[in-house]
Amino acid sequence: MAHIPTPHIEAKAGDFAETVLMPGDPLRAKFIAETYLEQARCINQVRGMLAFTGTYKGKEVSVMGSGMGMPSIGIYSYELFHFYDVEQIIRVGSAGAIQDDVNVMDIVIGMGASVVSSFPDQFGCPGHLAPLADYHLLSTAVECAKTLGTEAKVGNILSEDAFYSERPKDCFKKMGVLAVEMESGALYLNAARAGKKALCILTISDHLYRSEELSSKQRQEGFGKMIEIALETAVKS
């Protein structure tokens, strides 16, 4: 394929599985590959954005870091969807809770992603696009969570460009948005445009209205439930 390798991915055609798990942190991608995948092999190291392909319960699965923010996951998800024949991407990441009944270490599945970003502008649609998860992936993930004995909260999440944002989140809290992160809106939009599938599964790492947060090591290695739900979803999809 003429576009392979890309400026950001050195993998060869066929190196990626049809399903890719995407944590933000490339070291988390490495952890997932080494902990959960069999015969995992590294297929990308460009810019330190590690990617691996192996098998989980006999099915080929890839895992790759996305970096932080919509511009970064926007690049990688575009190239995976358009150049590497990836059919579905499941983001596995951390988020900050907005609602009072969402707590640290809770699992949140993003049915939709409200966006505070100029990323949707490129598609030229009047009004406001509503970035949504793929329903089949969403329903499969909910069932997998139940099977694993994990309660998952499903609803709207917020994707925002600025991590150190001075913008109050009160309006989003009033509208029932569960949590805030920085990538899912771009992933959902790229998947929609490419005619592919995407889902975001999050673990709450901190709370915007309470002094609660996980350490960087806990964020890197303590998200087992989320990862298991994503892998089980990959096997069944």
The string of pLDDT tens digits covering residues 199-225 is: 999 999 999 999 888 777 776 566 899
Contact partners, residue 134, CB within 8 Å, separation at least 6: 88, 191, 197, 198, 199
Which pLDDT score is estimated for 90? Answer: 98
Which residues in the chain come in under a pLDDT of 70? 1-2, 219-222
Which pLDDT score is estimated for 219? Answer: 65
CA distance 100 to 39: 42
pTM of the model: 0.95
Name the catalytic one among 85, 100, 134, 206. Answer: 206
Which pLDDT score is estimated for 217? Answer: 72
Token pair in block for residue 90: 């499941």
Question: CB–CB of 108/102 below 8 Å?
Answer: yes
Which pLDDT score is estimated for 58? Answer: 97
206 is catalytic: yes
How many residues are present in the chain?
237
- Say yes or no: domain 19-236 is CATH 3.40.50.1580: yes
Residues pairing with 159 in the sheet: 115, 181
Q: Are strands 88-97 and 19-22 parallel, antiparallel or unpaired?
A: parallel
Which pLDDT score is estimated for 166? Answer: 87
Question: CB–CB of 231/36 below 8 Å?
Answer: yes
